Structure 1
Amino acid sequence: MMAKEVQILHPRPSSIVAALYTLRDLGVDVVIMHGPSGCCFKHARLLEEDGVRTLTTALDEAGFVFGGQEQLTRLLQRASELFDPKLVGVVGTCSSMIIGEDLHQAVVDADLDVPVLEVEVHAGYRDNTRGVIITLEAALDKGIIDQEEFDRQKFLLEKATEVEKLHGAASSEYLAPERGDIKYKVAERLLTLLKEGKRGINVLNAKKETAYIFAEINASVAQVAKARGAEVTTLANLAGDKGLAKVRRDAKNILSGLEERGVYIDRITGGLDEYPIAGEVVAEEIADDGDYDFAVISGVPHAIPIDALEGLEIFSITNGPRQVRPLRELGHHHVVVEIDLHPKTMGVKNIVESEFGATLRGLHEVG
């Protein structure tokens, strides 16, 4: 069932940023943004934390009138000299696309001896996933991915868009940002259930690198449950054989980090890019067993079918302040927000401590 289209008034993710992150996931060494120096400034800096050199042609007023194609060509050549990249990405912006800049001709004129992915994107698309698709089309054209992976990614993006329109930050005209419930109160309630020997399902359903923090929450739940003699079943979308190069590496890193903590996954629900559909496996697990008292869901909780969670006390941990109200409206009993999660997970290769996980462990240790 597709959600009705609504006019979204609060800020939404940009197609340009989506393109940048997709280039990173494809293994691009250097990205050149053809536009003003301030375009996507925060995300461009964060990408450098992940080892991607992010440059800009810094188009100014003169460039808006006379164009900057030669400027782009020179920067491509200079980037090649400076960084010796194996794979380069060129990303359009609103300004360069509006004035009709020819990214392809600039790349041809630069005459680099490595593949260059040309991404003609702007921020005017209704869904930010359009930026991902345009980038994947460029990767398919250059043979970086095959048709099967492209089709798989496109299907997952359609499902992700559907999830957001049904129950996510694109489900209402305006969603005010909220901080969610107080972490120690939610952790206290969860600890009470564990002390009482209640049985829970512990689900990681996270998107890409955000799983480096969300997985720590699930690890904390599993560890405290074991110490308290309670039983939890842990599910996670950590298949290491699915997705783009970085996505697969992240899944393997996180799975290894969990095992180092003595936490083993009872059931793999899919890859890190399969969060929009992994909820179907969670629903199967609950239906097959049917004897759970509570559910802890970290990452993208609204992608888990709410009907499957009927009768369970639901603890949801998200990184979206605008996701709080939709989760409550769905019927999730406790909603916790991990603030500023993205900057904490850029460039990391090991699991990162979460605020909620630390709170749960702290309460467990004192009583």
Structure 2
Amino acid sequence: MKYVQPRPSSIVAALYTARDLEVDVAVLHGPSGCSFKHARLLEEDGMRVLTTSLADNEFVFGGQARLEEVIQYAEEKFSPDRMAIIGTCVSMIIGEDLQAAVDNSGISTETIAVDIHAGFTENIDGVIAALKPAAEIGWISTDELSRQQELLKAANQVERLRGAAIKEYIEPSRGDLKHLVASRLKELIEDGKKGVAILNAKKETAYMFSDALLALFESSPDADITYSANLELRGLPKVRRDSERIAADLAEKNLPFIKQGALDEYGALGEKLGAWMQSQNPDFALISGVPHAIPPEYTDGIECFSITNGPRQVAPLKSLGHEHVVVEIDLHPKTLGVRNIVESEFGAVLRSLT
């Protein structure tokens, strides 16, 4: 059976990928309301998002001339270094040629055409649709394109095996009460138990997910806890910059951690992080970001404290045996456009117990 719950959009995935490629202006070729929320949020992150605002008459007669007009406007208005023209369901249905519009517009700005719509089963199709022309124009190497494709497959597999895509419908949940979870965590620390704290976060979400580790360290600096973070410098331009900033913030706070993996490798790190966690032989584990990337055979017998931003991720994590699951609601909007670690609700609660 196909999903009956909402799933991420491939159009939105293409927009976020354009952002990660340091595109200055993205033009959505479709109705003004298409991907409205995410387009507005991405403007908070520094990328201008324009729309051709196609209306019903253009649904019938086409909007190629309108697209060329908006492309020319974008160059004249913003003088961008890079642009991306991104398709929608409407432009696909009426058969618009995005690359032809770029060529005919006469612009000099480096621009990619991303033929995409929201009818794909998986949102990773939007990422790949943006990366392929980026590789063709030389924004990324062919090796990086191959790397990204493998990482996307791994992330997709994790969601299908242990994530929110595990079945057609999952009841959303706000998770466990944060003050109760924080109290139990402090109780274990006060009893002298050994722990690990793992950041395995996706891209910019790490600006808040890393705060859980920071709050744990600040509230219990002498505890027997080993810290790990996926902050190695690999990936698309913005992803690397985010890694540098977050690592610098943690270092400034004197948090000792080892780097394991990069911010775009969250879906492929499960086996590595699981084996490392077992080698530490901890009594408990705090896992922030994408906890379900770690296969259950590695968490068996360890009291797990998992932090996610997905209400539909709570039930799958509980089914994996994670005793404590907390949800950081609205995490994603709060991590767009930021340049330093953002305090999380769980982090604030944990600090309040000291």
> TM-score per shorter chain, which class?
over 0.9
Residue in 2 aligned with 1:338? Answer: 328
> How far apart, in 2, do the equivalents of 1:113 and 1:264 lie?
47
Residue in 2 aligned with 1:3? Answer: none
Give the counterpart of 2:286 among 274, 287, 296: 296
Secondary structure of the residue that 1:357 maps to in structure 2?
A: helix
Residue in 2 aligned with 1:283? Answer: 274
Q: How many angstroms does 1:221 deviate by?
A: 1.2
Residue in 1 aligned with 2:264? Answer: 273
Identical positions, percent: 54
Aligned pairs (5 A) from 1:23-172 = 23-172=18-167
> How far apart, in 2, do the equivalents of 1:222 and 1:234 lie?
9
Asked if the contact 1:225–1:232 (Cα under 8 Å) also holds between the matched residues in 2, the reply is: no
Asked if the contact 2:28–2:52 (Cα under 8 Å) also holds between the matched residues in 1, the reply is: yes
Asked if the contact 2:300–2:321 (Cα under 8 Å) also holds between the matched residues in 1, the reply is: no
> How far apart, in 1, do the equivalents of 2:69 and 2:159 lie?
40
Amino acid at match of 1:272: L
> How far apart, in 2, do the equivalents of 1:286 and 1:263 lie?
18
Secondary structure of the residue that 1:116 maps to in structure 2?
A: strand
> How far apart, in 1, do the equivalents of 2:331 and 2:279 lie?
34
Deviations 1:81-131 (A, max 9, x none): 100000000000001101101111110111111211100000000000010
Secondary structure of the residue that 2:286 maps to in structure 1?
A: strand
Deviations 1:265-322 (A, max 9, x none): 1x211110000122222222123332x1000000000001211111110000000000
Asked if the contact 2:198–2:228 (Cα under 8 Å) also holds between the matched residues in 1, the reply is: yes
Amino acid at match of 2:280: D
Deviates more, 1:179-188 or 1:168-177: 168-177
Amino acid at match of 1:81: E
Secondary structure of the residue that 1:28 maps to in structure 2?
A: coil
Give the counterpart of 1:239 among 217, 232, 236: 232
> How far apart, in 2, do the equivalents of 1:69 and 1:288 lie?
59
Is the aligned partner of 1:264 residue 2:256? Answer: yes
Secondary structure of the residue that 1:234 maps to in structure 2?
A: strand
Over aligned residues, Cα RMSD in angstroms?
0.9
Deviations 1:6-59 (A, max 9, x none): 521100000000000000000000000000000000000001001101000000
Asked if the contact 2:92–2:117 (Cα under 8 Å) also holds between the matched residues in 1, the reply is: yes
> How far apart, in 1, do the equivalents of 2:104 and 2:45 lie?
29
Structure 1: gaps spanning 5 or more residues: 1-5
Is the aligned partner of 1:252 residue 2:247? Answer: no
Q: How many angstroms does 1:223 deviate by?
A: 2.2
Amino acid at match of 2:198: V
Secondary structure of the residue that 1:276 maps to in structure 2?
A: helix
> How far apart, in 2, do the equivalents of 1:80 and 1:283 lie?
48
Deviations 1:159-215 (A, max 9, x none): 010000001111011012110000000000001011111110100000010000000
> How far apart, in 2, do the equivalents of 1:73 and 1:261 lie?
50
Residue in 1 aligned with 2:168? Answer: 173
Asked if the contact 1:222–1:234 (Cα under 8 Å) also holds between the matched residues in 2, the reply is: no
Secondary structure of the residue that 2:26 maps to in structure 1?
A: strand
Amino acid at match of 1:273: D
> How far apart, in 2, do the equivalents of 1:114 and 1:42 lie?
27
The normalised TM-score by structure 2 is: 0.99
Secondary structure of the residue that 2:6 maps to in structure 1?
A: coil
> How far apart, in 1, do the equivalents of 2:277 and 2:172 lie?
31
Secondary structure of the residue that 2:42 maps to in structure 1?
A: helix
Secondary structure of the residue that 1:272 maps to in structure 2?
A: coil
Deviations 1:312-334 (A, max 9, x none): 10000000000000000111000
Question: What is the aligned length?
Answer: 354
> How far apart, in 2, do the equivalents of 1:312 and 1:326 lie?
17
> How far apart, in 1, do the equivalents of 2:146 and 2:290 lie?
23
Residue in 1 aligned with 2:6? Answer: 11
> How far apart, in 2, do the equivalents of 1:288 and 1:363 lie?
30
Residue in 2 aligned with 1:363? Answer: 353
Amino acid at match of 1:197: G
Residue in 1 aligned with 2:344? Answer: 354
> How far apart, in 2, do the equivalents of 1:289 and 1:231 lie?
11
Amino acid at match of 1:17: V
Is the aligned partner of 1:201 residue 2:196? Answer: yes
> How far apart, in 2, do the equivalents of 1:10 and 1:213 lie?
26
Asked if the contact 1:180–1:335 (Cα under 8 Å) also holds between the matched residues in 2, the reply is: yes
